[in-house]
A and B are shown apart, each in its own frame.
Chain A
Amino acid sequence: MTNNQFDQFFREQLKDHSAPVPEGLWEKIMPKDKKRPTAFYLPKNVGLGILIASLIIAGLYGGFKYEQATTNNLVNTNIDNNRKPIDQNIKHTNSEGIRIENTTIVSSIKKETNSTNSMVANNATKVVENQAIISKNSIEYNLANKIKADNYSYSFPAKSQSKNQIKILTENIIDNKKSSASTTLIQNKNEKGTLSTVTLNGSADENYTAFTKINPSFPILLNTTQSNNHFSLVNKTLVYNAHDKKIQGIIICPNIKGRSSFNTDWGIEFYASPDYALKYVSNISAAQQYLDKKDSSEQMQISYTAGFRLIKPLNDNFLLKAGFQYSQLNQKFSYRNENEIKTTTVITARTIIRSAGDTVLVSDTSVLQQIGYKIKTVHNQFRSIDIPVTIGYQFGNDDLKFGVNAGVVFNLSSWYQGEILDTTYTSVPMNKVSNALYKTNIGMGLYTSFSLIKRINNNTHLFFEPYFRYNLSNMTNSISPYNQRFHIGGLSVGLRFDLNR
């Protein structure tokens, strides 16, 4: 039996053991994530590097502290599957040094999360389950960092102790001859110079019984001074079974940052947008009076866009989007025609007298004419099908994200319906057949937007995206006496779905 047998036993038995994360645990550690800045933070690799560097530094520092504490450090081991607290016994020990070497505790430990370096947990607070091996050095490290814990306790895992051959070397364990009554038994064993060996090959209860054969006063009472100096594990309890009961069949691992449940593989978003178009007209050869008349006869109205976009995240922040959208710009064309004659068919009944005493009722159909002006109102529609391609940068937390997007919009086809004022000041129809002024493809436009994304559930997000589209080309063709183009602003509202789950 060597000093490392106990350690090796637990390592071998538990090296492949996995402890599942209890359900709902990640939501409980949300507050930690929320402390992160909502804007720019370090990329994933940099954060990982910092974490590894921190662990290395912490290890070096722990080793240094271990060397300092090897002479007087105490390891308070309490093997009690009944979770017996040891704090009272510790209180009765004085300055006698109790030293236990080569003691290794292999266990599942609940670790406090409010300290980055902590491996000791307060089971009354939010915890993270982790499979851990606490070696003496690691314990010394924790002690050196003065990690305080309450209700610390240890219990053997009941099932994992079967058929184990564990040898615990207690050689020179205790060299304190001034122990209290409760430590007498240990002292006697030292005086005899015997090497007590116990073989644990049964259940936890049997192991405990075996322990008590060589240490009937178990739990072991330690020197209070030394234990208080190095072990501030008073009232700290590690409850193994507390999470053992929550083992599930699957393991859901957080990413290295443990931050986002948002699917970053790819997604799709559907959106619709109320739009408003800004008309830009420049003169080529038309009379200014005509342009003024035309301008006064046209009034842009609320329009809309609807479509979908596929989203491919390039990393946590950058997104590439491409989609398909239908836009309809609405314009109210209103023109006043003077001296219009309106005719109305009327039927009149008259009583006429052909001669004295000869009265006849005469019905007559005639036409009532009225002169006035007509205001012709036509709702013009400028429709187009486009392919938007944008790249976006988004930031924020899982619940609320912000983003900026920019890109281009390629027009596939455009067509129009309604009426326009021609140079003879008469309204002429424009449609697919008689359209002579407007192109059927208005080319490319620039697109920019700002997005606000609110998570609805793990896979669905609601987003609001005010945007502006600047068309680079005129929609009028070469025979038009003027150039015209529309620039469009709108507010896209839609749903984004993560599709990698």
Chain B
Amino acid sequence: MNKILLFFFTMILLFMSACTKELSINTNTFTPYQGNAFNDTTWLKNITGISPITALADTLAQNTLFTDSIDLWKDKAMIFGDSLEVDFKGGSCTNNAGTLQDGKARIDIIRLQKKGDFIKAYRPNTSNMYLLETSSAFFIRITKNGAELALAPGASIKIKYSDISEAEDNMQVFYGKESLPLSTSTFDPANTWVRSLDTSWIKTWSTQSNYGIKKGYELEAKSLRWISAHRALDPNQPKTNIYAILPPNFTNKNTAVFAVFDHNRTVIDMHGDYASRSFTTSNIPLKTKLLLVSISKFGPDLYLGTRLVNDVGTMVNYSFTPEKKSLTQILAFLNSL
């Protein structure tokens, strides 16, 4: 009898305790989305083909495009506002076969003035890892029937513009180097500025207007597409490498990091370093004050990260975490640079 009672009540206690134990387990199971770019933390040794970074560059390519129509056989001075004048000389364009072209053509002009413009165009101010300081850059394209034309040998196109800062006397013409064939994306891993063979200083000008003295540059470009006025930063300053360290989600597949100099109109692209899983660049002068800017794209989502560096050299690795931003917010930020 006692054994029966003991067994019975033991079973009840076990039954109830088992239930209590089972019931106490509350879970909150997280399952990452498969195939979501945000969850991809892998790095690429080399950026090739289509990747989120190309989509990012195309998304950010929001610079103002000036368009006009020209007669290929006639001279034409195209004035855009009060700060840009492009003088086209007739009979200076050839097709891919080198044949002079005539007839109507379309001319597209993009002007990069601010540091943010260079970021949006993904055209950092470097020439083979040497740092440059810019005083604007232009993208000029002439197309006829959809086919892009080139300047004939010896021909040139004159660009007269006023800058946003004092005109410097030691600016030189640089041309943008691009991948061949031309990249269909704004992002071009081969891009760099190459100094023109004509290493003379770009002419400056000044005129008196009702609003005061107006100064600017007048450069002659002997080729189309990317043309800029640059000068090298002081090569004698001690330099260092800097690293931008982002959370593991932000890889070289989806993130572009730029170092925006504070005192110079210089924007440096910090490329992804596979070994250290960070973004780096070299030849940064010590004591430089700069702003690290990261822009990332995960599907439709954009992330913006910044890190102000007041004194390069005290430390060279900078960690920061990007935040999710809208495209408008990012463009506004870039325009403010």
A interface list, Cβ under 8 A from B: 270, 272, 274, 302-304, 306, 328, 330, 340, 342, 346, 348, 350-355, 360, 362, 364, 366-379, 381, 456-457, 459-460, 494-495
Contacts and interface: CB of A to CB of B under 8 A. Distances in A.
Interface residues of B, number: 44
B29 interface: yes
Interface stretch (B120-128, B148-156, B239-247): B239-247
Nearest to A365: B319
Contacts of A350: 243, 245, 276-278, 317
B25 interface: yes
A147 B27 CA distance: 82
Contacts of B277: 348, 350
B32 A372 contact: yes
A371 B248 contact: no
Nearest to A351: B276
B321 interface: yes
A369 B15 contact: no
Q: What DSSP secondary structure best describes chain A's contact surface?
A: strand
Contacts of A373: 30-31, 33
Contact of B19 (A304, A360, A495): A304
Interface string B1-45: 100110011011001100100111111111111001011010000
B32 A370 contact: yes
A460 B8 CA distance: 12
Given A306-B12, A354-B316, A376-B27, 17 more contacts: A270-B9, A350-B243, A355-B239, A362-B317, A364-B245, A364-B319, A366-B321, A368-B249, A369-B247, A371-B32, A371-B33, A372-B31, A373-B30, A374-B30, A374-B31, A375-B29, A495-B8
B16 A272 contact: yes
B101 interface: no
Contact of A366 (B15, B16, B33, B245): B245
Interface in B22-76: 22-33, 36, 38-39, 41
A367 B33 contact: no
Nearest to B276: A350
Given A330-B23, A352-B278, A378-B26, A366 B248 contact: yes
20 contacts: A270-B12, A274-B15, A304-B16, A306-B16, A340-B30, A346-B248, A350-B277, A350-B278, A351-B275, A351-B276, A352-B243, A352-B316, A362-B317, A368-B249, A370-B38, A371-B36, A372-B30, A372-B33, A373-B31, A374-B31
A342 B249 CA distance: 12
B255 interface: no
Nearest to A344: B248
B186 interface: no
Contacts of B38: 369-371
B33 A379 contact: no
Contacts of B246: 366
Nearest to B247: A366
Interface of B: 1, 4-5, 8-9, 11-12, 15-16, 19, 22-33, 36, 38-39, 41, 239-241, 243, 245-249, 275-278, 280, 316-317, 319, 321
Given A328-B19, A375-B31, A460-B1, A352 B276 contact: yes
B316 A368 contact: no
Q: Which of B26, B41, B240 has the most A CB atoms < 10 Å from its CB?
A: B26
A377 B27 contact: yes
Given A352-B276, A352-B317, A368-B247, A381 B23 contact: yes
Nearest to B280: A352
Contacts of B239: 355
B243 to A, nearest CB: 5
Contacts of A366: 245-248, 319, 321
A357 B150 CA distance: 46
Q: Which of A350, A374, A381, A456 has the most B CB atoms < 10 Å from its CB?
A: A350
A211 to B, nearest CB: 55
B321 to A, nearest CB: 7
Contacts of B319: 364, 366
Contacts of A494: 8
A377 B30 contact: no
A265 to B, nearest CB: 19
A369 B276 contact: no
Contacts of B28: 374-377
A374 to B, nearest CB: 5
A379 B23 contact: yes
A415 to B, nearest CB: 15
Contact of B245 (A330, A362, A369, A456): A362
Contacts of B243: 350, 352, 362
Instruction: Identify the 8 closest CB pairs spanning chains A and B, nearest first.
Output: A372-B32, A350-B276, A377-B27, A366-B247, A379-B23, A370-B32, A272-B12, A375-B29
A495 B30 contact: no
B50 to A, nearest CB: 22
A306 B15 CA distance: 10
Contact of A377 (B4, B24, B26, B275): B26
A153 B31 CA distance: 95
B141 to A, nearest CB: 39
Given A354-B241, A369-B38, A379-B26, A342 B32 contact: yes
A375 B31 CA distance: 8
Given A342-B30, A367-B321, A371-B32, A379 B249 contact: no
B313 to A, nearest CB: 9
Nearest to A456: B4
A495 B5 contact: yes
Contacts of B280: 352
Contacts of A330: 19, 23
Nearest to A273: B15
Contact of B247 (A303, A328, A367): A367
A342 B31 CA distance: 9
Q: Which of B24, B27, B36 has the most A CB atoms < 10 Å from its CB?
A: B27
Contacts of A348: 245, 248, 277
A348 to B, nearest CB: 7
A353 B284 CA distance: 13
